[in-house]
Amino acid sequence: MASLDPQSPAVPAQPVKSEPRHGIVQTRVKGLSALGDPIKPLHKEKALLTDPLLNKGTAFTEAERDALGLRGLLPPRIFPLEEQLHRTLAALRRKTEAIEKYIYLVNLQNRNEVLFYRLVMEHLEEIVPLIYTPTVGEACIHYGSIFRRARGLFISRNDRGRIREVLRNWPRAGARLIVVTDGERILGLGDLGALGMGIPIGKLSLYSACAGVHPYYTLPITLDVGTDTAALHTDPSYIGVQEKRLRGPEYDSLIEEFVEAVKEVFPKALLQWEDFGNTTAFHLLERYRKRIPSFNDDIQGTAAVALAGLLGGLRVTGKALRDQKLLFLGAGEAGTGIAGLFVAAAKAAGLTELEARGRCWFVDSKGLVVKDRGDTLAHHKLPYAHAHAPVATLAEAVKEIKPTVLIGVSAMPSTFTKEIVETMAALNERPIIFALSNPTSKSECTAEQAYTWSGGSAVFASGSAFPPVDFGGRRIVPGQGNNVYIFPGVGLGALASEATEVTDEMFLAAATTLAGLVSAENLAEGRVYPPLDSIRKVSLEIATAVATVAHDTGLARVKRPRNLRKDIEKRMFQPVYRDYA
């Protein structure tokens, strides 16, 4: 994976059509006419002002303005990048609502990507929740009304038979990292259809900011196959196809065409499946993971970040992984994905697969998942359907199963009640309680509730960030089990090694690497993950671990560098302005 930076030793072959002296993107607009006068295409130098990857705005120097014919097209005062950052941050903070800040940041990204990514990187704790969870959920709900400029590709059900043509319309050659959704299960918000485009855009922004994947190579895609949310069929601001979802063979054939088109048009691309419905997500992962380098972050990324948090929590409790008993609220792709990776880790710790599975229990909408419950269980639940009498509620299940770890992935808010948390604290000296549902409005409990109801004994993590809690004279900083700790590094490692497959072994390596980066000081203040401002280092270490697995298992398509970590590090995108003079 080469950087686009012209100063980099790893420049892609012909990444853009460029003029030799300045490396400037040339426009392809044909001459038009209006009122009898010709409309001339934008001169290639002026195109710098409209390409967000190349635009420097008020930072263009005097020499650049003269050389590129930009004098007069910009205000006369020159603002270097550092001054632009100061002004931009001040403008952002003047916004009072999170959704207003999201819109401001999207507009900045569409105007000047170097400035956008530099701002994100220098203020990660503040800005990541604005460009991704929890704010991205609200942004997706209102995506039709806040839509200003196309970013990424929309491939609709009406494009069947011509998906290759649609992919070739993407103006940047050689996409290497694609995040795709069909919008059926956006966070905990349900079927938002084409409004789900905010998710791929947000995820890819995090790839660039947190792992240094150059934005030139990223491509967000929404497969608009319709929506089963009836209100969207008559919503005048809805931007997608106002029909019911494709299902069955028609849907499968569209996905098949899409995957084959990606392989042909972008042969080096890594594909990340994002926010598909439960049944669809498992089906697509199993069908395509060996046919195209791909993974599902909702299943595998969530599993890795949860396992890393569990390993960190065990350093607090002093207990062994093999002795844990996990109870999940929610038996969808996130929960069973976590259980699957826990089984792999427990096997490495000495348990048999049957023993490890026996330590994972699930509660779904019908109660405890058991063998003889009387209903037909989905395929992904069957390995965790154990012999036990039926149990109707989560509160009863906690008393019956006596778990050491309680994990919420249900998108059902306030389901970890005072009674449940108190029971967990009575059963365990240091209960591990993870409320992982996103966005914040869907969290099973808050950090303050977990600490208060457990008497300060809970080891807590959540999917969305909660503020620190003062309890008993102690300031506790809750951990955030955000997938941003995992997927950017996994993607970077897979791209750097050009892995032909993204395996479960890579996610296990990512989880153990992340857990090893949590310091004793982090644990002492309540965190089971490192601070978010260390995410670039985290992603580099995870990428190195993932690439190591790719090379060790023969899945890498490139020669192994002498120093793998340094090779990856030098390829990471750094948001600095190019010199055009």
**Helix, coil or strand: residue 200:** helix
- Dihedrals phi, psi of 87, to nearest 5 degrees: -65, -40
* DSSP-assigned states of every residue in 241-263: --SPPP-HHHHHHHHHHHHHHHH
Instruction: Report whether 112 contacts 55 (CB < 8 A).
Output: yes
For the question of residue 101 being annotated catalytic, the response is no
DSSP 372: T
Instruction: Report whether 24 contacts 47 (CB < 8 A).
Output: yes
Tokens at residue 296, please? 């599902």
- Active-site choice (56, 101, 203, 442): 203
The Cα–Cα gap between 150 and 213 comes to 21
The distance from CA 489 to its chain's CA centroid, rounded to whole angstroms, is: 11
For the question of residue 566 being annotated catalytic, the response is no
The Cα–Cα gap between 472 and 474 comes to 5
**Helix, coil or strand: residue 272:** strand
Tokens at residue 378, please? 């989905």
- Dihedrals phi, psi of 271, to nearest 5 degrees: -115, 125
- Enumerate residues 6+ apart whose C-beta is below 8 A from 226: 157, 193, 240, 241, 242, 243, 244, 245, 246
- Active-site choice (56, 101, 102, 132): 132
Instruction: Report whether 182 contacts 225 (CB < 8 A).
Output: yes
Q: Please give the angle made by the CA atoms of 368, 443 and 542, to the nearest 5 degrees.
A: 95
- Enumerate residues 6+ apart whose C-beta is below 8 A from 443: 408, 413, 435, 437, 462, 463, 464
The Cα–Cα gap between 561 and 507 comes to 22
The distance from CA 170 to its chain's CA centroid, rounded to whole angstroms, is: 22
For residue 23, which amino acid is it? G
Residue whose tokens read 């694609």: 178
Closest to 173 (Cα-Cα) out of 292, 294, 271, 268 = 268
CA-CA-CA-CA torsion sign (189, 193, 198, 202): positive
**Helix, coil or strand: residue 175:** coil
CA-CA-CA-CA torsion sign (360, 462, 120, 222): positive
The Cα–Cα gap between 110 and 414 comes to 37
The distance from CA 301 to its chain's CA centroid, rounded to whole angstroms, is: 8
The Cα–Cα gap between 327 and 394 comes to 9
Query: Could you give the residue numbers annotated as active site?
Result: 132, 203
